[in-house]
Structure 1
Amino acid sequence: MSTIDWIVLFGTLGLIASYGVYKTFGQKSLDSYLRGKNTMNWWTIGLSIMATQASAITFLSTPGQAYESGMGFIQFYFGLPIAMIIISVSFIPIYYKLKVYTAYEYLENRFDLKTRTLAALLFIIQRGLAAGITIYAPAIILSTLLGWNLTWTVIFIGAVVIIYTVSGGTEAVSITQKQQMTVMMGGMILAGMIVIQLLPVSFQEALHVAGKMDKLNLVSFEFDPADRYNVWSGMTAAVFLFLSYFGADQSQVQRYLSGQTLAQSRMGLIMNGFLKVPMQFIILFIGVMVFVFYQFFQPPVVFNQVQTEKLAQSRFAGEYAELEERFSRNFQENKNNYLEMLEAIKHEDIAKEQEIKSRIQGLKEEQQTIRSEVKELILKNDPVAETRDTDYVFMRFVMDHLPKGIVGLLFAVIFSAAMSSSASELNSLGSTSTIDLYKRSIKKEASDKHYLNSSKIFTAFWGMGAILFAIYASLFENLIQAVNLLGSLFYGTILGIFMVGFFMKWIRGKAVFLAALLSQALILLVHFRNGEGLFGFVWDIGFLWYNALGCLSVMLFGMIIQKFVKN
């Protein structure tokens, strides 16, 4: 990167973090530290909620996912507005009425201590692991692109987050997220505008190319339980995930518990529900436009440039050069076909369009074969090398084709996203550890200052734990799917406990506790035997359905067990 890019990158990050520390330094009470003195207005809450969910993984993986598979991932968010309305009506009023610090306090009031503790522990397990992925995911990509040491990149991201989160608590997280969200969306929209300007064809022609290559297929009505993203999973299974994430995950609950009033919190949540879908549409659409760009400007054979540079210096350099030459010829032929297709579209020659599309599909298959052969060489040269490079597509494009200053801004977007999500996670882990475990079961009587300090210590502890996890983690198949999978393994059970609490008043503590344990065991069994089955019964379902299965099984098991136990 150029000097101006480094200035933009570190200047942006430094100003945001410093502003958060300055505005919230020296929190004096546990209430102000955990609930931000209930001073947040609805739009700050809405931006904070969006920033918590919009991690660096969103901005790294989502454009690459659209580049590879099109915009079908948008269906994952179709059920979000429904979930936000349900939470606003059912969840938030109860939290405000009880004046809770964490969502899990309600569970002791409704059931008993062991149920509260179980839900808090399930949250801590999955969110603690997710915090490590949230830091690791951008760190491995950024360290590769910038040539930094991975360990030091992880430590840099984690340390900055720990400093301002420990210093100012919930208020610092919300204030910095407002600035970070501005940088994130401003940077992405600017990048999208530049991508469109760089295209050698008109915007309308770009849409034709994307459409003919099936990149603009937003909706799939085909019901397939194994398909992660279609209308049915988005409007059913994903609703359960969102209900649990926004209604029972402390990293989100803590965002709207800081609202001035119940109405402000509701408005912030509804704002997130209706702006998140357009935001994801924009990010996915940018990925599609990058795809179109690379149909007219030759892309790298593999977007992870570090691996191809190593290959070019290895004993496989000759084979790699031959494959690059084949790839270059393939690209040129493909480019000519696209130009010919645009002429056919212009003259409304449908038969010619179909003929050219068939040729392009054949060339695409050959292109994928060449890529696979290059990746095989990469693995021969380095058996532990990461060959899945979808997550490198967007930032590789940024570094190669965007003007100076904008490159630094886009890297600031990724770092800001990493810090915003990590801060919320650490803040919520510190709160839950203090309120639901330490204060409730370990040290029940102590001063407000003692619990304030313990919350800061727990926040720092989880921050250092996330850094250690990130240092020793390994890259998942796709970063954004990794986080959704991790949440889906636990969210269904947690949501089921809350749904029983809200809507099944006759079920008591012992029954729901046993039901939750059975449900969690069921979900883990379903996941680890998915695609293989057990006792001759085989199943293959997308992980989003784990959320519905976990929730409904807690409710079902709870009804059955309640008939045989007494509370």
Structure 2
Amino acid sequence: MNNLPIIDLIIIAIYLVGMVLVGVYFSRKNNSSDEFTKAAGRIPGWAIGISIYATFLSSNTFLGVPGKAYGSNWNAFVFSLSMPFAAWFATKYFIPFYRSTGEVSAYTNLEKRFGTWARTYAVVCFLLTQLARIGSIFFGISLTLQALTGYNMVAIMLVTGICIVVYTVMGGIEAVIWTEVVQGILKTLGALIIIYLVVMEVPGGFREIMEVGFKENKFSLGTFDLDFVNSSFWVVLLYGFFINLNNFGMDQNYVQRYHTAISEKEANKSVWLCVWIYVPVSLLFFFIGTCLYVYYLNNPEYLNSIKLQAASEQLGLVADNPKVQELASIMKPSGYGDKIMPHFMVTMIPTGLLGLIVSAILSAAMSTISSGMNASATVFTEDIYKRYFNPLATDKTNLRVLYISTVIVGLIGMLCGIAMIGVKSLLDIWWTLSGIFAGGMLGLFLLGLISKKVGNNAAVIGTIVGICVILWMTFSYILPENLSYLKNPFHANMIIVVGTLTIFLVGNLSQRILKK
């Protein structure tokens, strides 16, 4: 077991206590469901923008992005490059639409447009997406803290989860936003510190990193060929555009923030501020991965412990077994993925700074989980409880339901994180799950927003066909070899692209046929 120095433990404890105290402070204002979900519309645009940025910059970014860049290249950075296109669409169409309706839930309009089934379907997709996201982030933070402390990953999830639940339940959306402002600054500072420490350790510094990076093709954004089978530039760009369109247009985490803004203009500012901060900062995390690659290429002896751990896990043997030693000696330096950042932190970051970096990673996890919990609780209360169980509920009852559902979402999210223990790539598992759950939801929403003439029957047909396509693309890999011609030929990231377009196009086509 590794033991963090007492000063680092104190720094981490101060951070956790501070976050809980923020929730206590804002709890005095949460006297109504409107305060809990919209903060009565009094949050400035700059704070919302940093809050959205902090939600994007989760522990998936903090750990998964450097691990991805370390093991391959900068292909995944194309996801960030797609954000301005989605942001333009959001500020032109989504934000004016939501601000005009005044509905705190992103899915109420679907019922008005197509009926109860559409709203229910979107709500289920959203909740599944959030549970997958919260679970992947719990897994990411426990992976890091286990490397630093040696404590059980399940225990780590429970401790951090309790802290998150407490300040989210007590403080509501206002506590979530203002803590994310602090967390966004802390995350960015943590990234800069890590880059500085790695560059200082590489002989030749920045120049050496750039030379080796270009030589090893580490800065590649992927092939520009029209290749939709592998992770080409175009596959990631399309995936990023559609998933960010879903984030800005359908994800309750973001839609709810539009209502907390003082005005529509401030809401628009918040989206663009998020984009202009996130794109360069995400680049920093890719650069960290390349820096770590060059560092360990020059110092392969520092990888011994992680090589032995990976080898023993692969063989199911103890680390000192001769077979493990033999396998570890031939393992490629690029084969460690998400484990490379925790390994560098535990071996190379000095006392004091380590506590700050761990707090930054904790903030990356806590901001996304807390906003996901608050948004999920809001959706459950507005779209399930008030819609189906108690339409005439008092505001006091609604507030109680918000509290209870926040806790339940947090607990289920922890269980999802436990179920993910052992996955190879944190970023890959999150991208795959989000693409599956979000594809149908976004297609239906665009159908309702853009295609004004499409009716309920056509929307049902489009959604059913779209779901079938998504299920086929997701699970066709299990088909036997004699049916290989029926397998999905596209990359997994194309699921949301194809699923969304299928619902939109089939819905429009069905409407034309039904009118004849």
Write the letter of the residue equivalent to 2:251: D
CA distance in 1, matches of 2:350, 2:249: 42
Of the three residues 253, 256, 260, the one matched with 1:254 is 256
For residues 45-444 of structure 1, what are the structure 2 equivalents within 5 Å?
Answer: 45-218=48-221, 220-228=223-231, 230-298=232-300, 299-301=302-304, 303=306, 314=318, 317-321=321-325, 327=329, 368=332, 389-444=336-391
1:505 aligns with 2:438: no
Aligned to 1:484: 431
CA distance in 2, matches of 1:34, 1:234: 33
Q: Is the 8 A contact 1:63 1:283 kept in 2?
A: yes
| Percent of matched pairs sharing the same residue | 27
Q: Is the 8 A contact 1:72 1:217 kept in 2?
A: yes
Q: Is the 8 A contact 1:302 1:308 kept in 2?
A: no
Q: Is the 8 A contact 2:74 2:221 kept in 1?
A: yes
Of the three residues 486, 492, 496, the one matched with 1:543 is 492
1:112-138, CA deviations, whole angstroms, 9 ceiling, x for partnerless residues? 222112111121122223322221232
Q: Is the 8 A contact 1:122 1:494 kept in 2?
A: yes
Aligned to 2:476: 529
Of the three residues 407, 418, 436, the one matched with 1:471 is 418
Secondary structure of the residue that 2:492 maps to in structure 1? coil
Inter-CA distance 181–52: structure 2 relative to 1 (3 Å threshold): same
Secondary structure of the residue that 2:40 maps to in structure 1? helix
Secondary structure of the residue that 2:369 maps to in structure 1? helix
CA distance in 1, matches of 2:217, 2:291: 13
Secondary structure of the residue that 2:220 maps to in structure 1? coil
Task: Give the number of equivalent residue pairs.
Answer: 508
1:258-312, CA deviations, whole angstroms, 9 ceiling, x for partnerless residues? 1111111111111222222211110110111111111222331462775679999
Q: Is the 8 A contact 2:63 2:341 kept in 1?
A: yes
Secondary structure of the residue that 1:536 maps to in structure 2? helix
CA distance in 2, matches of 1:492, 1:321: 45
Q: Is the 8 A contact 2:67 2:340 kept in 1?
A: yes
**Uncovered stretches (5+) of structure 1, i.e. residues with no partner:** 328-365, 373-387
1:294-337, CA deviations, whole angstroms, 9 ceiling, x for partnerless residues? 1222331462775679999949534555666xx4xxxxxxxxxx
CA distance in 2, matches of 1:174, 1:120: 23
Deviation at 1:427, TM superposition (A): 0.7
Inter-CA distance 238–4: structure 2 relative to 1 (3 Å threshold): same
Q: Is the 8 A contact 1:77 1:234 kept in 2?
A: no
Write the letter of the residue equivalent to 2:503: V
The CA RMSD over aligned residues, in Å, is 2.5
**Uncovered stretches (5+) of structure 2, i.e. residues with no partner:** none
Q: Is the 8 A contact 2:79 2:239 kept in 1?
A: no
Q: Is the 8 A contact 1:139 1:154 kept in 2?
A: yes
Write the letter of the residue equivalent to 2:468: A
CA distance in 2, matches of 1:178, 1:222: 40
Deviation at 1:486, TM superposition (A): 0.7
Q: With structure 2 as the length reference, what TM-score do the two structures score?
A: 0.92
CA distance in 2, matches of 1:288, 1:208: 11
